[in-house]
Amino acid sequence: MSDVRHVLVLPDRDAAEEVVEALSERFGVDEEPQLVRDALAGEDDAEDAQWLVVLRDAAGRLDPGELEEFVGEWDGWREEP
Protein backbone atom coordinates (compact mmCIF):
# COMPACT_ATOMS: atom_id res chain seq x y z
CA MET A 1 0.00 0.00 0.00
CA SER A 2 1.46 3.35 -0.98
CA ASP A 3 1.79 6.22 1.43
CA VAL A 4 -0.62 8.80 0.03
CA ARG A 5 -0.38 12.39 1.24
CA HIS A 6 -2.77 15.24 0.59
CA VAL A 7 -1.56 18.83 0.84
CA LEU A 8 -4.25 21.41 1.55
CA VAL A 9 -3.23 25.06 1.12
CA LEU A 10 -4.98 27.68 3.24
CA PRO A 11 -4.75 31.48 3.23
CA ASP A 12 -4.08 31.89 6.97
CA ARG A 13 -3.47 30.06 10.22
CA ASP A 14 -7.03 30.41 11.52
CA ALA A 15 -8.43 28.75 8.39
CA ALA A 16 -5.82 25.98 8.60
CA GLU A 17 -6.64 25.26 12.25
CA GLU A 18 -10.37 25.15 11.46
CA VAL A 19 -9.70 22.71 8.60
CA VAL A 20 -7.66 20.43 10.91
CA GLU A 21 -10.58 20.31 13.37
CA ALA A 22 -13.18 19.79 10.66
CA LEU A 23 -11.23 16.99 8.94
CA SER A 24 -11.84 14.55 11.78
CA GLU A 25 -15.53 15.46 11.90
CA ARG A 26 -16.14 15.36 8.14
CA PHE A 27 -13.82 12.55 7.05
CA GLY A 28 -13.14 10.60 10.25
CA VAL A 29 -9.40 11.26 10.01
CA ASP A 30 -7.66 9.46 12.88
CA GLU A 31 -4.12 10.73 12.50
CA GLU A 32 -3.46 14.37 13.39
CA PRO A 33 -2.61 16.30 10.20
CA GLN A 34 0.57 18.38 10.11
CA LEU A 35 0.16 22.15 10.13
CA VAL A 36 3.02 23.88 8.28
CA ARG A 37 3.66 27.58 7.69
CA ASP A 38 4.77 28.15 4.11
CA ALA A 39 6.34 31.59 3.65
CA LEU A 40 6.06 32.80 0.09
CA ALA A 41 9.40 33.08 -1.68
CA GLY A 42 11.22 36.30 -0.87
CA GLU A 43 8.62 37.50 1.65
CA ASP A 44 9.54 38.17 5.27
CA ASP A 45 6.14 39.45 6.34
CA ALA A 46 4.18 36.83 8.30
CA GLU A 47 0.99 38.11 6.67
CA ASP A 48 2.27 36.79 3.33
CA ALA A 49 2.47 33.20 4.53
CA GLN A 50 0.20 30.40 3.44
CA TRP A 51 -0.54 27.50 5.74
CA LEU A 52 -0.37 23.90 4.65
CA VAL A 53 -2.31 21.03 6.16
CA VAL A 54 -0.48 17.81 5.30
CA LEU A 55 -2.70 14.80 5.65
CA ARG A 56 -1.46 11.21 5.52
CA ASP A 57 -3.87 8.76 3.91
CA ALA A 58 -2.14 5.37 4.05
CA ALA A 59 -5.35 3.50 3.26
CA GLY A 60 -6.02 5.73 0.24
CA ARG A 61 -9.62 6.20 1.34
CA LEU A 62 -9.89 10.01 1.00
CA ASP A 63 -11.24 11.27 -2.31
CA PRO A 64 -9.11 14.10 -3.75
CA GLY A 65 -12.18 15.75 -5.30
CA GLU A 66 -14.04 15.78 -2.00
CA LEU A 67 -10.99 17.23 -0.24
CA GLU A 68 -10.72 19.94 -2.90
CA GLU A 69 -14.37 20.89 -2.42
CA PHE A 70 -14.02 20.74 1.38
CA VAL A 71 -10.96 23.01 1.58
CA GLY A 72 -12.58 25.42 -0.88
CA GLU A 73 -14.99 26.34 1.91
CA TRP A 74 -12.04 28.19 3.49
CA ASP A 75 -10.78 29.68 0.19
CA GLY A 76 -8.12 27.02 0.04
CA TRP A 77 -7.17 24.33 -2.45
CA ARG A 78 -5.58 20.89 -2.65
CA GLU A 79 -2.16 20.51 -4.23
CA GLU A 80 -0.60 17.36 -5.56
CA PRO A 81 2.37 16.66 -3.26
Residue 61 is part of a domain; what is its CATH number? 3.30.70.3450
Per-residue pLDDT of the chain (81 residues), as tens digits, is 467 899 999 999 999 999 999 998 999 888 889 999 987 655 555 556 899 999 999 888 899 999 999 999 999 999 986
Domain count, the chain: 1
Q: Is 31 exposed, middle or buried (0-12, 13-18, 19+ CB in 10 A)?
A: exposed
Helix or strand or coil: residue 40?
coil
pTM for this predicted structure = 0.85
Q: What is the reported pLDDT for 42?
A: 58
Measured between alpha carbons, how far is 14 from 18 in angstroms, rounded to an integer?
A: 6
Helix or strand or coil: residue 59?
coil
Dihedral-angle region of residue 63 (phi above 0 means left; psi in -120 to 50 means alpha; beta otherwise): beta
Q: What is the reported pLDDT for 2?
A: 62
Domain of 70?
A: 4-79
